Structure 1
């Protein structure tokens, strides 16, 4: 494996890390106090254990967030290029969504009945994404879980195929990787009591022969995929891959589920619409409600009929699909405002232009410091990766991750008022991001690399 640290002065990098940790501790006394207080009653000292995965010695506590910025409890302001890892992809507290939430706040939150927003939201989803029938959930994890259940019922097949290194939320079925070519349940998965490999097939992204062989048995209900892998570091489809993959999937009677939760950065209708893909089912999670917990999933006409038939043919009782808060009035109001007034063509044009500038600038800085790193972009989503060329599959993407190096860069940026996604090197721009914000990020990134080399 290529050394991701080629060209770096690693002793200097380690000294820089120690200096930046000390600077963070000195600058954030109120966050430190709250972290200590939280440790008395919060498991792992944070509301969710993964909030400890940032580069900081203790959690940074947020006071308020608006647009492309947030302020912490110690009064520091940050330009946010993480944006909730897509949850706030269109900025924090978009004004149209805030107004809709304010209005709905005095009109009820949940009633287990449809609100007046339900039909307009579904109609707008159908228009944007080209699928006529929709349902709702509280997260992409739930939406993916429900879709797998519906499709197994509709097809009578019990298996699902995913790509090595994928992430589709906390869906048990997807936590299977290839280890030395062998499908293996992820060691990190807690409390799993049955073998996921009995019902999950895994192949490498961009490997058409492997996909063909895996589907040939005729027992796979669906392929669940991001059109661009994102959570292990971005992995783009090779030219012609999805055209050929869709033919293989159709030939074996398998259904295609596209998870656009991250790739909605590709445009108002997501990656599939922008690139002419034809999914049988589509999932969109956290960005769709402007930051309010919600998700949507849609079906083709033909699949919707099969799903309805499966439900009507089953005995009465709980289907295992849906929760009492799914499609609640609060989330529906937020989704309607976000879809109609925030996720606009004009917003995407602004985001694409800034992301292009950001990607070009990152590439220029990396080249100036003679590092063999690359930059990958999907619409408003940009990432720098520790390899000379972008990885072709999850295995290659995993091999170039370097958590220690990532955290040094992230903390350096954070201490200078710039936040990027903690889990790899992903950056998002939103309608509230400005050219000066991008220029500031690039200048600070340049300073960081100068320290590292």
Structure 2
């Protein structure tokens, strides 16, 4: 390893082998289904990244409800992954399930608005503070569409992102800084043009770099999570966003905030909690209570510019939207979730559990003198293999240890506790119990006792 993780790697690897054997022995039906899927599914799974889990083969789910799910072999789990935020408020929350059931008998999709659309638009405006909204099926599409509107509204070709960012599978964002040099990501499949022509990339928390990149006046929007989440959590330094927004405005660039993960911060997201003022705003996975949908909002000024751009454009397809966008089923789910699930009281409860979790993890780390830290964004908690939380994407990438992540994750999974396969992100939901959190902390400590130096 390039730095001290506080781990005895011989012990850790021996534990991993034992945990893999235990998984294989306990999951005959999942193993059978994995073999069957391998006959017809590319890579043996519905989406190739489903192989990124620490398991020897895929774990197959039978049913999921609240903070729990059961696999096809009959084992029960407490779910701290929650669909990597897609089910942030629990699986199949009752108000959403009832709304979907009612709507399913009245139609799924028509390419026409339903009554729910007007209610949802008004609620989004109240909750997030932007007056105008549009819809998508995923946060990826919402980000992609918002970028197009930003370019159309500003007549500028480029966007700016932060190194190590994640905004779904939007093509424009797969540019990293490698030794300070913008580099198209090697892992991007099938890309035929140079993304660096239209994408600038700087480090998060680096105000001089942001200023320099925007000074040329060719950037339509800065696309950012208010706190980075998908390379491991990277929090903004005190005063960063206040200064960054002044720089962005000074150069006539728009701010596009993606809250798909940081909606864990509160009912109005990080934006509302910390007083950010974006021109465009995206929320994806959680907004429909697990039903695929996403939303994106516009400030008054950008809404006017976007509408003007569309009205003055030649007739034909704008390249924005799909026939399933804002379908009646998704709108019914969003209305129920926003009204009855994604509430102030739900967040207050989750914050208490997340604090219990973060405090518990820190106590374990301290007891065993590990050079690790714990980072938290509302209901979202993560332990990281460094004493000092990372300040940017380069630092966050440097401390990732996938092998160690897999060992800990599989140990927890074999004890009925699921956390996210990508780094060490842990979510709680309104159905998570204090005892569930205590159980996770205890299992985490048991794993550490096996593998520490």
Q: TM-score, normalised by structure 1?
A: 0.99
Aligned to 1:129: 128
After the TM superposition, which residues 254-403 of structure 1 pair with which residues of structure 2 at under 5 Å, given as runs? 254-403=253-402
Distance 2:33 2:161 in 1: 40
| Partner deviation per Cα, 1:171-230 (whole Å, 9 max, x = no partner) | 000000001111000000000000000000000000000000000000000000000000
Distance 2:187 2:9 in 1: 29
Distance 2:271 2:213 in 1: 23
1:82 maps onto 2:49 in alignment? no
- Shift, 1:419, TM fit: 0.2
1:228 maps onto 2:227 in alignment? yes
| Partner deviation per Cα, 1:317-355 (whole Å, 9 max, x = no partner) | 000000000000000000000000000000000000000
Secondary structure in structure 2 of the residue aligned to 1:160 = strand
Aligned to 1:59: 58
- Shift, 1:76, TM fit: 0.3
| Partner deviation per Cα, 1:147-184 (whole Å, 9 max, x = no partner) | 00111011000000000000100000000000111100
After the TM superposition, which residues 204-223 of structure 1 pair with which residues of structure 2 at under 5 Å, given as runs? 204-223=203-222
Distance 2:88 2:179 in 1: 36
| Partner deviation per Cα, 1:401-431 (whole Å, 9 max, x = no partner) | 0000000000000000000000100000000
Aligned to 1:3: 3
Distance 1:51 1:9 in 2: 29
Question: Does structure 2 retain, via aligned residues, the 8 Å contact 1:383–1:425?
Answer: yes
Secondary structure in structure 2 of the residue aligned to 1:136 = strand
- Shift, 1:2, TM fit: 5.2
Supply the RMSD in Å over aligned alpha carbons. 0.6
Distance 1:4 1:91 in 2: 37
After the TM superposition, which residues 168-207 of structure 1 pair with which residues of structure 2 at under 5 Å, given as runs? 168-207=167-206
Distance 2:344 2:328 in 1: 26
Aligned to 1:138: 137
Secondary structure in structure 2 of the residue aligned to 1:223 = strand
1:165 maps onto 2:183 in alignment? no
Secondary structure in structure 1 of the residue aligned to 2:404 = helix
Distance 1:324 1:277 in 2: 32
Distance 1:8 1:322 in 2: 49
Distance 1:281 1:149 in 2: 11
What 5-or-longer segments of structure 1 have no aligned partner?
A: none
Against the structure 1 CA distance between its residues 4 and 62, is the aligned structure 2 distance closer, same or farther, given a 3 Å change threshold?
farther
Distance 1:165 1:311 in 2: 33
- Shift, 1:8, TM fit: 1.3
Secondary structure in structure 1 of the residue aligned to 2:257 = strand
| Partner deviation per Cα, 1:273-304 (whole Å, 9 max, x = no partner) | 00011000100000000001100000001100
Distance 2:13 2:209 in 1: 41
Distance 1:301 1:13 in 2: 55
Distance 1:66 1:256 in 2: 37
Aligned to 2:34: 35
| Partner deviation per Cα, 1:359-382 (whole Å, 9 max, x = no partner) | 010000011111010000000000
What 5-or-longer segments of structure 2 have no aligned partner?
A: none
Distance 1:434 1:234 in 2: 24
Secondary structure in structure 1 of the residue aligned to 2:151 = helix
- Shift, 1:3, TM fit: 1.4
Q: TM-score, normalised by structure 2?
A: 0.99
Distance 1:13 1:390 in 2: 24
1:446 maps onto 2:445 in alignment? yes
Question: Does structure 2 retain, via aligned residues, the 8 Å contact 1:4–1:402?
Answer: no
1:431 maps onto 2:430 in alignment? yes
Distance 1:210 1:437 in 2: 43
Paired positions, count: 452
Structure 1 runs (4+) deviating above 4 angstroms are none
Distance 1:410 1:3 in 2: 21
- Shift, 1:4, TM fit: 4.7
Secondary structure in structure 2 of the residue aligned to 1:102 = helix
Distance 1:76 1:4 in 2: 36
Secondary structure in structure 2 of the residue aligned to 1:55 = coil
